[in-house]
Amino acid sequence: MADLSGVFTNGAAAYGKFLEVFIDGHWWVVGDALENIGKTTKRLGANAYPHLYGGGTSSSLRGSSPKASGYAKPTKEVEKRFRD
């Protein structure tokens, strides 16, 4: 019969290492998820309620108006676009 001394302690040590990695990995994943959820929530809140985050009512809306920049003008007829 094989020598069984230390079977329980070796098994317990292996289980402890597995549990440590398992719990540490889950904390890592949950921590990353909560961080991303927090950042997304803050971003959505700043877009929905800019006055609460130090911005004006239209400070996050940037862009040029069509009057200032003009409209896009096609260079060829619509039918030719689909033939090329």
Residue 7 lies in a domain: no
Residue 60 DSSP one-character state: T
Residue 70 lies in a domain: no
Residue 76 lies in a domain: no
Residue 47 domain boundaries:
20-53
Q: How far is CA 35 from CA 38, 46, 83, in A?
A: 5, 17, 49
Residue 31 lies in a domain: yes
For tokens 């070796």, the residue is 10
pLDDT at 60: 47
Per-residue pLDDT tens for 34-78? 999 999 998 888 888 888 877 655 544 555 565 555 666 666 677
Name the residue with higher pLDDT: 73 or 30.
30
Cα–Cα distance for residue pair 15/7, rounded to 1 Å: 12
Cβ–Cβ under 8 Å, residues 56 and 50: yes
How large is the C-alpha radius of gyration of the chain?
30
pLDDT at 82: 75
Residue 64 lies in a domain: no
Tell whether the model's pLDDT for residue 2 goes beyond 70.
no
Number of domains in the chain: 1
